[in-house]
């Protein structure tokens, strides 16, 4: 069925002067879709043309409708020579194709030119007439979007398309840069349109109507071509009926935002049960490195290496649990790109599974047959699948894929969290009895921690204990995951960002030799990253990681590894043991002294951190016999026997987890260095919290203030002959300094939390390291704290801290001690605020001397001035999937934009920093304008996926490619909602949140 697209060009403003003689411009507009082009009349001699054109009508096939962008080109008419292009606007009309999304795109859009950047704006009204048949909605959000209900979660969809890159060696080619950049931009637009269409077809075949957690990536493979690939989770979604109305907070549909806001809230009625585990093992634990770790609980690191180099390294293959013949396993890939789930969906978590593979790129000969790339990914996914099986899991959640390319070498990575899911949202019929059983058992807040694997057949050595919440099922001592903290999870204290950073040198090499060298280095890298993560986690007195993201980047002479995650103390898991250092040569007295000093430092740090993060788990576990959940033992037995485990279960030593289980052995300088690095980690300034997950575990009192920032830094390593330690130190300092800078810049906004704080590293050239971060800042009120202060005043007289013995271990936060922390924290804050104020007063005084300005002046005008005439709507952008204090009432469609910017006057544009700063600001502006044109007021799940920066200072040139994506939405402030329609339901939810929030 052919679709009809109508477009109308209304006006432009602030156009640049194109005719020097008259200081004016004779502008007209070309509107192009597919092969059809329309032109407006020339609007002579004006910088603010009013074209007010007729409706241009395009009749096109569905396929084109989905693939093609609408191209609008603004030109300056020239009678004698060729018309000069002023700039272009590409409009992805995809959002118009869905009935529930936007219906019209209309507004001021920045006109963009790949050489001159953003300058003026054109007003454009575009309307689609006929509904296309394709109704698949795309969401970047990695959870069920607010205001939708999941009817069915169908599973994994993936697709990739390849093409020749029209311009890979941009700097050396002879061509007009504009033409080449535009060809490339358009190609990528087309490719991502095609990709989306193909995925849409797959979703329809599966019977779904939406893709959630849509992740699209570009691989700029250089000579060998351009790959655009995407993965996502197919779902059948249903819009939650009428906006604010009664169905707003359905108990088990979308992970509604109140759940999010207070992770401790409401145990889901369908909790779960059973077992769970820890990260694990891997080939690499055998490698003896600088220091060894006696506890083998390491993150699972599947070291795939297929292709031209390396060989299989999976020692876990054999471990399959025979009874888990769930429907999921019959699927090709039981993968889910979701990181947050409807209540009751996620039953158990096994641990992180990951696989990497090193490949040599070769030219893509036939773009229509992308089999090679497909086969590569297939290999990796198979590996992930088998790793998950080894952990006794039938599914992988929080799944993502990435690549790192250097010349002809490409590292493909995939990672996720092995898990067992409920069959509630699966269409493929009932799961087996075992899983049903799971579902019947209610175990709020700890079920997902219970091990899914057979404890007698643990795929790695781990220490299991009975769950500290329900006391009936086994839990591992440490849990690593790539997902967000489940909303129902019980957490003690607050979380924090934990990063492991590593840099390893590598010899320059070519072809297969290079690939082999890289695959040989990878296991070491992963192993050390995991060791660092584990050490840092223990140092903070925590026992679980969420949102774990490990990034490995390859360069010509080095490999970079960066792992980020949010550490928390899960109430269900045992308290982590301390870190114990032992030396190799105990005879030497000074050495002993040194060791014991270090040990003392470590112990002090742990104590300090526990205080800082308010980790005061209930002490005496043994005494809690009458645990709050009267769990029939038979049931667990039933399960156990089924899984062929024996009665030994009950004989396990409960105190096991408390031993100082973690021993660091110092046997050479490396280890000493490492421990030093561990201890010198910069501590976060008062008033700040940071995490890389959507929300900060343990904090509920968000305000609606939200801001998003992007930071990019590139460093040059000047001295080529650096040792591994030297490199490590440099890399670690880079990251620390970047964090310090962030805290400093945002200091006026405390108290606040930096959420979704994610780092991306790359090695754009030899000796260059690029670190990119984007984050969102959420302000925290201290109302909650004030409340706690009062509370504290009441309780302190009777019983200061120290949780009473009988306290319910399931209640995650120790009330009184929390209040106490709050008060001390507030004092600190006040102190801080004081110094800050003092500082700024000084500054302003000094500046006053230079140019005295009456204080009252600026203040007075603020009140009497109003900018009601401002025509620019505010558009919020955030990497989060929600907006605190607001309700998303409509999703308008996916934003997926790709821009190239080039300059041949780098110095004049403020050097590389000036150039990139402008470009990023321009990209933000274009995203905001498009969202506003769709009728939206925010972008959620925003991310900058790609930021490839190349420069050639000698030629005064630079080029940058940026890819951004997100979901355009309309949100309404909760306060406004309440004004318009008072809903008893939401009101009660809110109050109950407040109660639990403390």
Partner 1 sequence: MSTELDVFVGNTTVLDEDVYQLWLDGHTVSNAVRIRMEAGALQECEANAEVLHSDTMDQFRTFQMCERLLQSPSKVANQLLFQIPPHRQTMLIERYYEFDSVFAREVLGKKLSKGTKKDLDDISSKTGIALKCCRRQHVFKVVEELKGPLVENIQRHFLLSDVLARDYAAIVFFANSRFETGKRKLQYLSFQDFAFCAGQLISYWTVGAVNNVMEDLDVDLEKEFLHDLKDLKVLVNDKDMLDQHKSLVCAQLRGKIKVFSEMEASFKNLSRALVNIASKLTHTKDFRDLFIDLVEKFIEPRRSDKWTIGDLRLFLKHYSSSVHTLEAFRHQVIWDRYMGVIKSCILKMYHD
Q: Which residues from 681-700 bind partner 1, rule CB under 8 A?
A: 682, 685
Q: Is 914 in the site for partner 1 (CB under 8 A)?
A: yes
Among 81, 242, 718, 954, binds partner 1 (CB under 8 A): 718
Binding residues for partner 1 restricted to 279-318, rule: CB under 8 A: none
- Which range touches partner 1 (CB under 8 A), out of 349-357, 367-375, 471-479, 868-876? 868-876
Cα separation of 477 and 656, whole Å?
10
Secondary structure percentages of the chain, helix, strand, coil, to 5 = 30, 30, 40
> Could you identify the residue written with the tokens 């490396």?
670
Q: How far is the CB of 417 from partner 1 (least distance, A)?
A: 30
What does DSSP assign to residue 222?
G
Among 5, 929, 964, 970, binds partner 1 (CB under 8 A): 929
Binding residues for partner 1 restricted to 733-752, rule: CB under 8 A: 737, 740-745, 747-748
Residue 837: CB atoms within 10 A of its CB come to 10
Q: How far is the CB of 888 from partner 1 (least distance, A)?
A: 17
Cβ proximity to partner 1, 488 vs 694, nearer residue: 694
Cβ proximity to partner 1, 206 vs 714, nearer residue: 714
Q: How far is the CB of 944 from partner 1 (least distance, A)?
A: 10
Q: Site map for partner 1, 750-789, x if CB under 8 A? A: ------------------x-x-------------------
Cα separation of 460 and 299, whole Å?
10
Cα separation of 73 and 631, whole Å?
68
CA 190 to chain centre: 26
Q: How far is the CB of 112 from partner 1 (least distance, A)?
A: 11
Cα separation of 13 and 9, whole Å?
12
Closest to 816 in 3D by CA, of 991, 992, 616: 616
Cβ proximity to partner 1, 711 vs 983, nearer residue: 711
Q: Is 925 in the site for partner 1 (CB under 8 A)?
A: yes
Q: Is 864 in the site for partner 1 (CB under 8 A)?
A: yes
Cβ 210 vs Cβ 237: under 8 Å = yes
Cα separation of 675 and 583, whole Å?
13
Q: Is 924 in the site for partner 1 (CB under 8 A)?
A: yes
60 strand-pairing partners: 3
Cβ 54 vs Cβ 8: under 8 Å = yes
Q: How far is the CB of 862 from partner 1 (least distance, A)?
A: 6
Cβ 903 vs Cβ 957: under 8 Å = yes
Q: Which residues contact 22 (CB under 8 A, 6 or more apart)?
A: 45
Q: Site map for partner 1, 115-154, x if CB under 8 A? A: ---x--x---------------------------------
Cβ 611 vs Cβ 458: under 8 Å = no
Q: Is 920 in the site for partner 1 (CB under 8 A)?
A: yes
Q: Is 437 in the site for partner 1 (CB under 8 A)?
A: no
Cβ proximity to partner 1, 580 vs 737, nearer residue: 737
Among 17, 456, 872, 987, binds partner 1 (CB under 8 A): 872
What does DSSP assign to residue 433?
H
Binding residues for partner 1 restricted to 98-117, rule: CB under 8 A: 108, 110
Cα separation of 471 and 622, whole Å?
10
Q: Is 560 in the site for partner 1 (CB under 8 A)?
A: no
Cβ proximity to partner 1, 446 vs 875, nearer residue: 875
* R_g over Cα of the chain: 29
Q: Is 703 in the site for partner 1 (CB under 8 A)?
A: no
CA angle 871, 40, 892 (to 5 degrees): 45
- Which range touches partner 1 (CB under 8 A), out of 28-36, 222-230, 483-491, 914-922? 914-922
- Which range touches partner 1 (CB under 8 A), out of 28-36, 522-530, 652-660, 850-858? 850-858
Q: How far is the CB of 11 from partner 1 (least distance, A)?
A: 13
Q: Is 862 in the site for partner 1 (CB under 8 A)?
A: yes
What does DSSP assign to residue 24?
B
Name the token pair of 680: 């010198």
Q: Is 877 in the site for partner 1 (CB under 8 A)?
A: yes
Among 169, 176, 366, 835, binds partner 1 (CB under 8 A): 835
Q: Which residues contact 537 (CB under 8 A, 6 or more apart)?
A: 478, 498, 543, 545, 567, 576
Q: Considering CB under 8 A, how many residues would be counted as binding partner 1?
A: 80
Q: Is 839 in the site for partner 1 (CB under 8 A)?
A: yes
Q: Site map for partner 1, 931-970, x if CB under 8 A? A: ------------------x---------------------
Among 501, 876, 887, 901, binds partner 1 (CB under 8 A): 876
Q: Is 874 in the site for partner 1 (CB under 8 A)?
A: yes
In 3-state terms, what secondary structure has residue 296?
coil
Which contiguous run of DSSP H or E holds residue 857? helix 855-864
Q: How far is the CB of 566 from partner 1 (least distance, A)?
A: 21
Q: Is 608 in the site for partner 1 (CB under 8 A)?
A: no
Burial of 804 (0-12, 13-18, 19+ CB in 10 A): exposed
Q: In 442-588, which residue ranges form alpha helices assigned H by DSSP?
A: 511-539
């Amino acid at each position: 069925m052919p679709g009809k697209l109508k477009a109308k060009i209304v006006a432009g403003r602030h156009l640049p002067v194109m005719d020097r003689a008259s200081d004016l411009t004779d502008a007209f507009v070309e509107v192009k879709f597919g092969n059809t082009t329309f032109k407006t009349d020339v609007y002579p001699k004006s910088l603010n043309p009013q074209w007010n054109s007729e409706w241009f009508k395009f009749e096109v096939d569905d396929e084109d409708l989905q693939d093609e962008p609408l191209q609008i080109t603004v030109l300056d008419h020239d009678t004698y020579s060729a018309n000069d292009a002023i700039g272009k606007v590409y409009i992805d009309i995809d959002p118009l194709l869905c009935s529930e999304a936007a219906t019209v795109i209309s507004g001021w859009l920045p006109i963009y030119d790949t050489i001159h950047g953003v300058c003026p704006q054109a007003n454009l009204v575009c309307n689609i007439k006929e509904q296309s048949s394709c109704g698949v909605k795309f969401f970047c959000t990695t959870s069920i979007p607010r205001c939708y209900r999941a009817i069915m979660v169908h599973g994994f969809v993936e697709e990739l398309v390849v093409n020749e890159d029209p311009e890979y060696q941009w700097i050396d080619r002879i061509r007009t840069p504009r033409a080449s950049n535009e060809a490339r931009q358009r190609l990528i637009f087309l490719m991502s349109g095609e990709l989306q269409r193909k995925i849409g077809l797959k979703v329809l075949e599966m019977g779904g109507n939406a893709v959630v957690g849509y992740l699209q990536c570009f691989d700029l493979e250089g000579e060998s071509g351009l790959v655009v690939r995407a993965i996502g989770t197919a779902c059948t979604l249903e819009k939650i009926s009428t906006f604010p109305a009664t169905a707003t907070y359905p108990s088990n549909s979308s992970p509604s935002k109140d759940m999010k806001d207070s992770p401790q809230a409401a145990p889901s009625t369908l909790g779960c049960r059973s077992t769970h585990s820890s990260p694990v093992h891997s080939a690499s634990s055998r490698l003896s490195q600088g220091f060894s770790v006696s506890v083998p609980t390491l993150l699972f690191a599947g070291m795939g290496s297929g292709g031209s180099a390396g060989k299989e390294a999976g020692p876990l293959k054999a471990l399959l649990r025979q009874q888990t013949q769930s429907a999921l396993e019959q699927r090709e890939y039981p993968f889910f790109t979701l990181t947050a789930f409807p209540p009751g969906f996620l039953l158990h978590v096994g641990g992180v599974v990951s696989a990497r593979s090193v490949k040599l790129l070769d030219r893509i000969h036939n773009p229509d047959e992308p089999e090679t790339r497909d086969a590569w990914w297939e290999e990796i996914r198979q590996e992930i699948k088998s790793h998950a099986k080894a952990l006794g899991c039938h599914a992988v959640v929080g799944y993502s894929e990435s690549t790192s390319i250097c010349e002809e070498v490409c590292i493909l990575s995939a990672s996720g969290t092995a898990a067992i899911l409920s069959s509630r949202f699966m269409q493929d019929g009932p799961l087996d009895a075992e899983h049903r059983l799971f579902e019947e058992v209610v175990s709020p807040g700890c079920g997902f921690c219970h091990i899914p694997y057979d404890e007698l057949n643990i795929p790695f050595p781990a220490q299991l204990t009975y769950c500290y919440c329900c006391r009936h099922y086994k839990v591992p001592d440490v849990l690593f995951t790539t997902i967000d903290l489940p909303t129902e999870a019980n957490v003690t204290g607050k979380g924090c960002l934990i990063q492991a950073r590593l840099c390893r040198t590598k010899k320059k090499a070519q072809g297969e030799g290079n690939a082999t060298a890289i695959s040989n280095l990878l296991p070491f890298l992963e192993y050390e990253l995991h060791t660092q993560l584990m050490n840092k986690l223990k140092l903070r007195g925590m026992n679980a990681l969420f949102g774990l993201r490990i990034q490995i980047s390859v360069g010509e002479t080095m490999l970079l590894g960066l792992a980020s995650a949010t550490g928390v103390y899960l109430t269900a898991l045992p308290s982590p043991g301390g870190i114990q250092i032992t030396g190799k040569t105990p005879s030497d007295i000074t050495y002993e002294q040194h060791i014991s000093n270090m040990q003392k430092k470590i112990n002090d740090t742990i104590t300090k951190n526990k205080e800082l993060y308010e980790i005061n788990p209930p002490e005496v576990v043994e005494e809690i016999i009458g645990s709050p959940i009267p769990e029939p033992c038979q049931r667990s037995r039933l399960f156990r026997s089924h899984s062929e485990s024996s009665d030994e279960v009950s004989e396990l030593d409960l105190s096991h987890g408390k031993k100082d289980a973690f021993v660091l052995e110092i046997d050479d300088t490396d280890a000493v260095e490492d421990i030093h690095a561990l201890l010198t980690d910069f501590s976060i300034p008062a008033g700040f919290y940071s995490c890389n997950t959507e929300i900060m575990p343990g904090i509920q009192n968000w305000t609606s203030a939200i801001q998003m920032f992007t930071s990019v830094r590139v460093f040059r390593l000047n001295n080529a002959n650096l040792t591994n330690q030297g490199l490590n130190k440099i890399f670690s300092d880079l990251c620390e300094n970047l964090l310090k800078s962030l805290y400093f810049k945002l200091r006026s906004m405390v108290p606040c939390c930096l959420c979704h704080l994610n780092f991306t590293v790359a090695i754009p050239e030899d000796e260059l390291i690029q670190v990119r971060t984007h984050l969102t800042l959420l302000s925290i009120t201290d109302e909650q704290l004030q409340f706690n202060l009062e509370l504290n005043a009441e309780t302190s007289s009777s019983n200061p801290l120290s949780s009473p013995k009988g306290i319910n271990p399931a209640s995650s936060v120790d009330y009184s001690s929390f209040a106490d922390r709050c008060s001390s924290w507030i004092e600190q804050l006040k102190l801080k605020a004081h110094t800050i104020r003092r500082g700024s007063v000084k500054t302003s005084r000094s500046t006053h001397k230079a140019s005295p300005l009456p204080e009252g002046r600026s203040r007075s005008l603020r009140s009497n001035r109003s900018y009601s005439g401002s025509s620019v709507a505010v558009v919020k952008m955030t990497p989060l999937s929600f907006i605190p204090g607001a309700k998303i009432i409509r999703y308008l469609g996916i934003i997926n934009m790709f821009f190239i910017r080039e300059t041949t006057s780098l110095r004049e544009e403020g050097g590389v920093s000036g150039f990139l700063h402008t470009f990023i600001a321009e990209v933000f502006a274009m995203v905001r304008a498009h969202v506003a044109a769709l009728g939206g007021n925010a972008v959620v799940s925003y991310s900058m996926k790609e930021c490839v920066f190349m420069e050639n200072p000698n030629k005064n040139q630079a080029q940058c490619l940026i890819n951004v994506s997100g979901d355009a939405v309309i949100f309404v402030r909760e306060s406004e909602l309440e004004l318009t329609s008072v809903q008893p339901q939401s009101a009660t939810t809110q109050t109950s949140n407040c109660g639990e929030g403390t």
